[in-house]
Structure formats: C-alpha cells, structure tokens
Amino acid sequence: MSKIYKIHKWLSIVSVLFFLMFCITGLILMFRTELNAWAQGGSHHSSLSMEMSQQ
C-alpha cells in the first residue's frame, strides 16, 4: 500500500503544478490589456474611453 501512496502523491504534485501553470497563464492572457496598461504606467480606463470615442 505504501508504494501506491507514493505514486499517488507524486502524480498529484505533478498534476497540481501543471494545473497551476495552466491557471496562471490563462489569467495573464485574460487580463493582458489591464496588465499592459499597468506595466506602461497608464490607466486602462483612459485607453478604454479613447477606444470608445473612436467608434
């Protein structure tokens, strides 16, 4: 039984790491506009209002 627990533990660790990587990269893609605005020091709201006025 001990061998099964060790296998289960390591498979769980690998699965959790993959899942966390998947979630973090997905969040980065989902909020890329806000992150770009934050990284450039601007406000997302000002770029949004500018986009709305161009339409």
Q: Give the pLDDT confidence of 39-55 residue by residue, as tens digits.
A: 998 655 555 555 556 66
Residue 43, phi then psi, degrees to nearest 5: -105, 135
Tokens linked to 31:
């909020």
pTM strictly above 0.75:
no
DSSP structural state of residue 26: H
Residue 10, pLDDT above cutoff 90: yes
Pick the residue with more confidence: 33 or 45?
Answer: 33
Separation between Cα atoms, residue 32 and residue 27, nearest integer Å: 8
Structural domain range at position 38: 2-54
Which positions ≥6 away from 37 have C-beta within 8 Å? 43, 44, 47
Amino acid at the residue 17: L
Separation between Cα atoms, residue 7 and residue 17, nearest integer Å: 16
Average pLDDT over residues 26-46: 84
Domain count, the chain: 1
